[in-house]
Amino acid sequence: MFISILIHTFTLILLHLQIMSNNTEKKRTGMYENVMHEFNKAADKMNLDAGVRKILASTQNEIVVHFPVKMDDGSIEVFTGYRVQHNNALGPYKGGLRYHPTVDIDAARALATWMTWKSAIAGLPYGGGKGGIQLDPSKYSKGELERITRRFTYALGDNIGPDYDIPAPDVNTNAQIMAWISDTYASAKSPANRSVNLHVVTGKPVLSGGLQGRDRATGFGVVVSIQKWAKKNNVDLKGKTFIIQGFGNVGYWATHFLQELGAKLIAVQDHTGSILNTEGIDSEDLLAYTKTNKGGVSGYSKAKAIDNSEFWKTDCYLLVPAALGNQITTENANDIKASLIAEGANGPTDSAAEEILMKKGIAIIPDILCNSGGVIGSYFEWLQNKRAEIWEIDEVLVKLKQKIETAFDAVVASAEKYQTDYRTAAYIVALAKIEQVYKERGVFP
């Protein structure tokens, strides 16, 4: 009897582990599945050339590196880093590096592919790349993060370069990390000429070759897209309530510029929890608080704590997901009460959830249009470095606004021509440009 119970218990444990493994795998492959679903939908709609479709349906290069780093206590840890290069028909690969436990080859594929579309829509001479390191940066000291970053850069070697593949900041990476990459890359070249290789990364500190305004470029672009949508739909943003998921760089700056327009922030969610104040939350005051609270919004005294699931049920006009991918799913899509979703993050809405939102009549400004301000700002920094120039912030924001408005108009025209949603229309804009290049140049040999 005891042996029978033991066998039964062991079988249940194995079944539980298998279910957990399947769920993990599902989560791991979700982002790329979303990318390919949207790609195929747009390709069918526009009747994309069959040969070009085959080329764009796969990545060009996938780099995985394992490298050892000495920790502060003298021990050795081995880290895994990724860089996926999707397509460079329009120009060098371009895209961020993120430091996060969810970084893997599948996520890098999805993000690199999105970068190809995003650059094409924005009219930039770039292809798509993405990557990072699978780690939680909060568990490491600043010295350890510097050694990890420099060793990762060295391991990538010539897989990155100022006119080949140009990384930038992403989740949990910043200007300091870009400065370390820039210095390491230049130091590994002979002679170690930093001015020649300065544009190997973008998003650097201003004194180290960075662009004034690059820090706010993505959030600013999100708000420019919202303004364009509002103008087209005769909506006055003043007094409109909004909620935001993620209060990092993108989330803060989007909130900052929305509040300048008179919109009212009423709820915020980040990795530490969710807060609500229907009377309004001041973004500057919240930012000051997060700097004393390890970057998190939890415990903020001028708003009440709410359950994370309740955040999605908040009655508001605008929702800005500005955190990670696959945050809006079939589990919470029906709860959303917003009239407009502006995607500040990459891939925050999965395909099944989007169908639910569209049936509810909720408008969506897709990520590859809405958050393109970051790569546009990176392009300006890249040009500034190549030309040995220094651009002023006012000039940067004016140019950035013009680029995004032009891209938005192109997507609207595509949506009207093909009688489709903005996401599919945005894909079509990107695919049409790349298709034209392949038809003009041909495929070697």
Residue 173 is given by DSSP the state -
The residue type of 48 is L
Q: How many CA atoms lie within 13 A of 327 on its CB side?
A: 26
3-state secondary structure of 145: helix
Residue ranges for the known binding site for substrate are 94, 118, 378
- 165-169: strand order across its sheet: 61-70, 76-87, 127-133, 93-99, 165-169
**DSSP character at residue 97:** E
Catalytic pick among 27, 54, 130, 238: 130
Which residue is associated with the tokens 């998190």?
A: 296
Residues forming beta bridges with residue 83, ordered by sequence position: 63, 131
Q: How far is CA 327 from CA 103, 113, 353, in A?
A: 16, 19, 10
HSE (side-chain half, CA atoms, 13 Å) at 113 = 24
Q: What sign has the CA pseudo-torsion 296, 300, 303, 308?
A: positive
Positive/negative CA dihedral, 371, 376, 378, 381 = negative
User: Cis peptide before 445, with omega less than 30 degrees from 0?
Assistant: yes
Numbers of helices and strands, H then E, in the chain:
14, 12
Q: Given the structure tokens 């850069």, which residue do they identify?
A: 153
User: Is the CB of residue 344 less than 8 Å from the CB of residue 370?
Assistant: yes
Please confirm, yes or no, whether 130 is among the known catalytic residues: yes
Query: Measured between alpha carbons, how far is 235 from 223 in angstroms, rounded to an integer?
Result: 14
Q: Are 244 and 258 in contact (CB under 8 A)?
A: no
Q: What does each C-alpha distance from 301 to 105, 190, 222, 286 come to in angstroms? A: 40, 55, 28, 10
Of residues 230, 229, 224, 220, the one with CA closest to residue 250: 220
Please enumerate, by residue number, every residue annotated as part of a binding site: 94, 118, 218, 249, 378
DSSP H stretches of helix in 202-291: 217-232, 249-260, 283-291
- Per-residue burial over 177-209, b if 16 or more Cβ lie within 10 Å, else e, is bbbbbbbbbbeeeeeeeeeebbbbbbbbeeeeb
The residues carrying an active-site annotation are 130
